[in-house]
Structure 1
Amino acid sequence: MSSGRTEVQVRPGVEGDLDALTALYNHYVRETAITFDTAVFTAEERRPWLLSHPEDGPYRLMVATEADSQEILGYATSSPYRPKPAYTTSVETSVYVAPDAGGRGVGTLLYDALFKVLADEDVHRAYAGIARPNRASERLHAGFGFRYVGIYREVGRKFGRYWDVAWYEKEL
């Protein structure tokens, strides 16, 4: 993708990305209600998360980087929806874009790559929970064919207030 500044590349995430991915996620932990984690992570604490997203299978990690510098601009994942065996053909997806990379189409590139690799997997549905308000994420998901299925009202408490989570699903 040409952004006017530099090209963006998307590839599977690797262990060498762990520090940068942890720093990116910690921004959202500290500054937003997009994630309901409330304490930042060390890279070692995040290692099991990274290792749970191999380069094959239904649980993937795709990373967007600047072509020239390899700076990480964001990532998208497909993760287990729920731990019980009957849910194995369902995944929960998410996208995190670096704050200074917003508006460049990074989220779109990441989801495009993620859904292409999932097309060859035994995955029936993708789900996304979006803490509200988050119009950018709602637009991104709608653009990929997710449809709104309901809302959990005041399901999470962070920064001294309750947050709603809207749920979306996509057929795969």
Structure 2
Amino acid sequence: MTPRGTAEPQVRPGIAEDLTGLTNLYNHYVLRTPITFDTVPLTPEGRMQWFLSHPKDGPHRLMVAAEPAPSGPERLLGYATSSPLRPKAAYATSAEVSVYCAPDAAGRGVGTALYTALFDALAGEDLHRAYAGVTQPNDASHRLHTRFDFRPIGTYGQVGRKFGRYWDVRWYEKELGGGGADGGAGRLHQTGRM
């Protein structure tokens, strides 16, 4: 049981029936926080392409945490994704990850459960690094990423403007098991040039 006395969240791959709930959860952050730099609420129809870009297998996944309900539909508590870092081919072994939790799910271990499931699912994929951009300040996200062996690698200063002010984004990096040959990266780290 969780600290609040409810059933443990179930983590599973996202399904099409989740799209409305996922969109509503995300729109909370769009409208009320600088955590995402989207500024206009999205619609489920507008997020369909995003949903389809996260299949149940492969390096780009969508994991959903849901709370079983004794009667009626389950309640979404959060989700985590791995997405392409950049569109150019050489970035294919790197992924950008993110996690969003329902506001009332804070402190229940939902983010930890989601990242655990996501990184377990990605373990056999051809991925070398995971990256996460975190709008500052965000102590809870810093703790979560540190717990999963991410390390801060730099900050984009005042990179986004929302709610009438500029926000910094700190970037985190995590080594993953896949990715094959280093493609010369070892040489770069040793000599400082390629």
Q: Normalized against structure 1, the TM-score is what? A: 0.98
1:13 correspondence with 2:14: yes
Equivalent residue number for residue 54 of structure 1:
55
The equivalent of 1:134 in structure 2 is: 138
Gaps of 5+ in 2: 177-194
Please show how residues 59-70 of structure 1 align to structure 2 within 5 Å.
Answer: 59-68=60-69, 69-70=73-74
| SS at 2:12 equivalent | strand
Per-residue deviation, residues 121-151 of structure 1 (Å, max 9, x unmatched): 0000000000000000000000000001000
Equivalent position of 1:44 in the other structure: 45
Distance, in Å, in 2 between the alignment partners of 1:165 and 1:143 is 19
1:7 Cα deviation after fit: 1.9
Q: Deviations over 1:65-87 (max 9, x none)?
A: 00235110000000000000000
Tell which structure's C-alpha radius of gyration is larger. 2
Q: Could you tell me which residue of structure 1 aligns to residue 115 of structure 2?
A: 111
Distance 2:171 2:43 in 1: 29
Cα-to-partner distance string for 1:38-93 (whole Å, 9 max, x where unaligned): 00011100111011000000000000000235110000000000000000000000
- Identical columns (%): 66
**1:155 matched residue in structure 2:** 159
Distance 1:65 1:158 in 2: 30
Amino acid across the alignment from 1:43: P
Letter matched to residue 130 of structure 1: V
Q: Distance in 2 between matches of 1:168 and 1:59?
A: 18
Q: How many residues align?
A: 171
Which portions of structure 1, spanning 4 or more consecutive aligned residues, are displaced by more than 4 angstroms? none
**How far is the alpha carbon of 1:5 from its aligned partner?**
1.7
Q: Residue type of the partner of 1:156?
A: G
TM-score normalised by structure 2 residue count: 0.87
